[in-house]
Amino acid sequence: MGILNIFRGQFIDVIEWPEENPRILVHRFDRHNNEIKWGAKLIVRPGQKAVFVSQGNIADHFGPGTYPLESKNIPILTTLLSLPYNFNSPFKAEVYFIRTTEQLDRKWGTATPVMMRDADFGTVRLRARGNFSYKVGGSNDMLARFVGARSEFTCDDIESQMKSKVVSAFSDALGELKIPALDLAAQYNEIGDGVRTKMSGYFADLGFELTSFIVENISLPDEVNAAMDKRASVGALGGMGNYTQLQAADAMKAAAENPGGAGNMMGVLMGAQLGANVGQAVQQGFNAPPPPPPAAVTFYVAVNGQQAGPYDLNTLKTQALGGTFTRTTMVWKQGMAAWQEAATVPELASVFAAVPPPLP
């Protein structure tokens, strides 16, 4: 039975990689010291590519499809092995299957805070997180630099190095863009585009292609968030004066609700401050100039069908003593709906009180 197995394994007719573990990027076809039969069938599934390596040299590439291993399909390998056309002898070559599908949602984050200089808050320590996507590029750099003679190469073997470089590029982009801390939340896309531009060349050198880079969140220290909340409160209340009054009112309320000694002392201090403020306001009231006197009341007078005036009460009193202004004289002032006899206007009662009655 063992001899039969030896003969069965003498040649390999089908070369394929059916394993679908998404963490494996490169898989070397396991020959178990067996040779590949000339004319064998190579099956490359969607999302894969196959690379033949002979004597340490990278030879032919195959995309998705089914291929008979003949001279016309593997011309470079045929040249390296010096095999004639249609030669049916088996040959030895290593076959690597490479996953070309996109590796999505790879998480990144700052293990330690990133320092940033801000015009409003000075030096600020930021933490950030997000995700990126990549896939194996079209070059052979990844296979030559990292895989070598390994039978498998996984995402975990390379992503730790990628994430370290991503955080470094994020710090550089943040410093170059000089976005104020107050505006960071509105600039996630711009920051992500800047990091992706910086990282594209680095990924290409590794043999990969960076397909997307996303900033999900940039968190500020608690003291900066508190300062931003205060600034928003000042703006909502209409200025620093109103904000200070609200703070004082809140402090007084808190002191009144605290029955302990510290609360009583705070209440006394707040009361003293309030009394001082009231006293200052009263003193300012005493020192304030008097208000302007009220405007004098004036009337227009109808004389021989013509409008005359306006006259104040003293002038009308003089005219009444002279007999030119009587109780039946028609008068009008600002605010009256129509002309009226002088005797019907209450404000003119004092004018006629000084006029003596007619002689009997």
Per-residue pLDDT tens over the stretch 322-332: 778 788 888 88
- Determine the length of the chain: 360
Per-residue pLDDT tens over the stretch 274-299: 555 545 654 555 455 666 666 677 88
**211 and 118, same structural domain?**
yes
Per-residue pLDDT tens over the stretch 59-98: 888 999 999 988 777 877 777 776 554 555 677 788 999 9
Q: Record the tokens describing residue 88, joined without a space.
A: 């049916």
Domain boundary at 222, 249, 273, which?
Answer: 222
Q: Quick check: 136 and 98 in contact, CB under 8 A?
A: yes
Residues 265-273: what's their mean pLDDT? 52
Omega of the bond leading into 259 within 30 degrees of 0 (cis): no
Helices (H) then strands (E): counts for the chain: 10, 16
Q: Record the tokens describing residue 315, joined without a space.
A: 């002038």
Sequence-ordered list of residues with C-beta below 8 angstroms from that of 350, at least 6 positions apart, any chain: 313, 317
Predicted confidence at residue 334, as pLDDT, reads 80
CA distance 324 to 20: 119
Q: Decide if 230 is inside a domain.
A: no
Please tell me the pTM assigned to this model.
0.58
Q: Decide if 289 is inside a domain.
A: no
Q: Indicate which CATH number applies to the domain containing 335.
A: 3.30.1490.40
Q: Decide if 249 is inside a domain.
A: no
- pLDDT higher than threshold 70 for residue 256: no
To which H or E segment does residue 68 belong?
Answer: strand 65-68
Q: Decide if 167 is inside a domain.
A: yes
**9 and 26, same structural domain?**
yes
Give the domain extent around 324. 298-353
Q: Quick check: 212 and 182 in contact, CB under 8 A?
A: no
Q: Select the more confidently predicted residue: 225 or 176.
A: 176
To which H or E segment does residue 278 belong?
Answer: helix 261-286
Domain boundary at 53, 76, 99, which?
Answer: 99
Q: Is the C-alpha dihedral spanning 20, 23, 27, 33 positive or negative? A: negative
Q: Decide if 275 is inside a domain.
A: no
Q: Decide if 134 is inside a domain.
A: yes
* Strand 35-44 to 11-15 pairing: parallel
Per-residue confidence band for 183, with pLDDT thresholds at 50, 70 and 90: confident
DSSP state of 260: S
Q: For the chain, what is the radius of gyration of the CA atoms? A: 48
**135 and 94, same structural domain?**
no
Domain count of the fold of the chain: 3
Gap between the terminal Cα atoms of the chain: 164
Tokens 């320092």 found at: 115
**71 and 15, same structural domain?**
yes
Least confident of 170-184, 215-229, 281-295, 300-314: 281-295
Q: Quick check: 61 and 49 in contact, CB under 8 A?
A: yes
Q: Decide if 334 is inside a domain.
A: yes
Predicted confidence at residue 19, as pLDDT, reads 78
Domain boundary at 188, 222, 256, which?
Answer: 222
